[in-house]
Structure 1
Amino acid sequence: MFDANGDGADDRAFADRCKDDRHHFRIIVSPEDAADLTDLREYTRDLVRQMEADLGTRLEWIAVDHWNTDNPHVHLLVRGVDDQGGRPRYQPGVYQPQSALARRGTGLCRTRPQARA
């Protein structure tokens, strides 16, 4: 387990802080060429720092990385409260900068066509 502060995150303490939260967000971070990244944990920290900048609030989170499949990935759990105790407001397009982060890390970014209603 890891978080913003290091690789020894206390999952029980995090769970205790979350027990009364109304919401939480589960995100799977799976860069296309994760195996080629220098440090998947630091990549995840960079991703969350960008999310915090986009949202204008600090986020409390914990994560675990998995290397037991053909596609290394991270399970990221973000508390559903902002740094003021309110609910974070996610706006459309918030995750677009993450594509730029992926290109910086791996040089690759394939986009999928969006479905039209």
Structure 2
Amino acid sequence: MTVRATAADVATTFIKAFGAGDMATVAECLAEDVVFESPRVRAEGIDAVTAVIGQFTQVVEGVDVIAALGDAEQAMVIYDMRTGPFGTLRVVDHLVLRDGKIISDVVVFDTHEVRKAEAAQEPAAD
């Protein structure tokens, strides 16, 4: 008997791979036509999405999954994302799957710390 991974299993694998900078596993979880949305960026297609996620992994030190739940087609994962420049961000991902692959990933987090860090790096106006 084959046990099929649940949407929450796939989502958790994806989030943990992201937190570890394991882009091969991240890509394995994604469908070719995946759409990614966050408070800062939107990307469509596996190449664009893996590029966006790969860029952000540069500042991610790890993730701590708090909860994951879902049904056959969707999952929600709540986790703490530890970053160097922004501290720890509480994040919620809503993921939709088709045939065991992520077709939609909507990420929600408070951007205050990100904006604050970016403002501190901007040159002062003359």
> TM-score normalized by structure 1?
0.29
> TM-score normalized by structure 2?
0.28
RCO (CA 8 Å, sep 6+): is it higher in 1 or 2? 1
